[in-house]
């Protein structure tokens, strides 16, 4: 009888699945960890915004129109310099004025009522927009909307693409032919055009944008998942599962899917970035979020006309928030992909 083989010291002291190994790897990646921190901070901000803890009153016009940012200081008062006000008291018109007897009564009544005269601020932290709304609040709220749309749409697209790709890749033959036909139909039309067609029909609204992006963006995921399933279904471990009698569903989702999930996850993170950018463009064009909502896209739409007048803060705020978040997210996704990559992992 052959000798019992103990596990040699060169191997890991305790068992680690794929995710634990990847996490350990990821922790060593400085860039990845910093990006993760930034993304997490944004997510916290979004959560606060969604629960209306911050940026609740973004629609309130709290500042003077186009209020400059605080660090710039208030705008010098405009020299209106139009007509010179006349000097001297007003002419007494009380004999011809039909309302004259009532003035006194109204003055007394008015004195009793309190008016909430909001003192418009001269400067706001990030400046104000055309209507005097706080750009910082808008930016935060816009982050919530844009990121929410991006993430939800990518989840939808990934789900559709994964289910269809798995079916096409695993079963092959007729199901594959049919799904390939569906794929061909959807990709025969250039992306933008398809989105426009859907937008023309469905109209505006956050839900619609999510639906449109999800229904048009699944093709990339489908292609990849299908290729992966085709690759894995003839691998020995799946054959072995078939040999011991595992059902098709079990083979697809218990065996193959966990081996493919890291690929799907990376794809989904790419989709998030792509969809956020699409949403921005759609909102800019007026096809995205409805008028009573704000997103980075609507901010950019307003910013364009403001820039000509020299008011650059809304453009800066929107760009800054978007750039920081998307960069951090992309770098984080890159780091995740490297951490999960089998070639570096040596696990497969």
258-287 residues near other proteins, rule: CB under 8 A: 258-259, 273, 277, 280-281, 284-287
Compare residues 198 and 222 and give the one whose CB is closer to other proteins: 198
Question: CA–CA separation, 277 vs 326, rounded Å?
Answer: 9
Where residue 55 falls (left for φ over 0; alpha for ψ -120 to 50; beta otherwise) is left
Interaction between residue 346 and other proteins (CB under 8 A): yes
Compare residues 113 and 200 and give the one whose CB is closer to other proteins: 200
Compare residues 152 and 212 and give the one whose CB is closer to other proteins: 212
- Residue pair 135/127 in contact (Cβ under 8 Å)? The answer is yes
332: how many CB neighbours lie within 10 A of its CB? Answer: 23
Which residues fall within 8 angstroms of residue 234, CB to CB, at 6 or more apart?
A: none
The stretch among 42-50, 62-70, 221-229, 318-326 that binds other proteins (CB under 8 A) is 318-326
Compare residues 49 and 146 and give the one whose CB is closer to other proteins: 146
The correct pick among 6, 76, 88, 249 for binding other proteins (CB under 8 A) is 6
- Residue pair 283/298 in contact (Cβ under 8 Å)? The answer is yes
Interaction between residue 200 and other proteins (CB under 8 A): yes
Place of tokens 């899917």: 257
CB of 86 to other proteins, least distance (A): 42
Interaction between residue 239 and other proteins (CB under 8 A): yes
- Residue pair 242/235 in contact (Cβ under 8 Å)? The answer is no
Q: Which of residues 292-311 bind other proteins (CB under 8 A)?
A: 296-297, 300, 303-304, 307-308
Cα dihedral 165→168→169→174 (10° resolution): -170
Interaction between residue 97 and other proteins (CB under 8 A): no
Interaction between residue 113 and other proteins (CB under 8 A): no
Question: CA–CA separation, 185 vs 155, rounded Å?
Answer: 22
CB of 134 to other proteins, least distance (A): 21
Question: CA–CA separation, 325 vs 36, rounded Å?
Answer: 10
The correct pick among 34, 50, 163, 241 for binding other proteins (CB under 8 A) is 241
């Amino acid at each position: 009888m052959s000798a019992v083989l103990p596990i040699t010291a060169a191997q890991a002291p305790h068992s680690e699945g794929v995710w634990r190994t990847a996490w350990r790897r990821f922790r060593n990646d400085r860039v990845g960890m910093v990006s993760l921190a930034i993304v997490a901070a944004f997510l916290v901000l979004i959560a606060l915004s969604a629960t209306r803890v911050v940026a609740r009153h973004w629609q309130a016009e709290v500042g003077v129109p186009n209020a400059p940012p605080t660090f710039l200081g208030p705008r010098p008062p405009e020299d209106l310099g139009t007509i010179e006000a006349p000097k001297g008291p007003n002419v007494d018109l009380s004999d011809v004025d039909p309302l004259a007897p009532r003035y006194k009564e109204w003055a007394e009544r008015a004195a009793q009522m309190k008016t909430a005269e909001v003192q418009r601020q001269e400067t706001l932290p990030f400046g104000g927009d055309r209507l005097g709304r706080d750009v910082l609040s808008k930016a935060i709220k816009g982050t919530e909307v844009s990121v929410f749309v991006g993430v939800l749409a990518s989840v939808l697209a990934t789900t559709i693409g994964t289910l269809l790709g798995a079916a096409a890749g695993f079963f092959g033959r007729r199901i594959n032919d049919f799904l390939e036909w569906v794929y061909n139909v959807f990709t025969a039309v250039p992306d933008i055009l398809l989105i426009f067609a859907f937008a023309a029909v469905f109209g505006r609204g956050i839900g619609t944008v999510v639906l449109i992006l999800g229904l048009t963006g699944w093709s990339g995921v489908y292609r990849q998942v299908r290729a992966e399933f085709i690759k894995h279904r003839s691998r020995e471990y799946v054959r072995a599962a078939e040999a011991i009698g595992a059902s098709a569903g079990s083979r697809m989702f218990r065996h193959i899917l966990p081996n493919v999930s890291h690929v799907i996850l990376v794809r989904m993170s790419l989709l998030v970035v792509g969809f956020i950018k699409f949403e921005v463009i759609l909102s800019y064009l007026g096809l995205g979020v409805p008028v009573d909502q704000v997103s980075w896209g609507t901010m950019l739409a307003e910013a364009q006309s403001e820039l000509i007048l020299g008011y650059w803060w809304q453009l800066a705020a929107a760009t800054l928030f978007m750039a920081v978040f998307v960069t951090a997210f992309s770098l984080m996704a890159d780091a995740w992909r490297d951490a999960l990559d089998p070639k570096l992992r040596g696990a497969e």
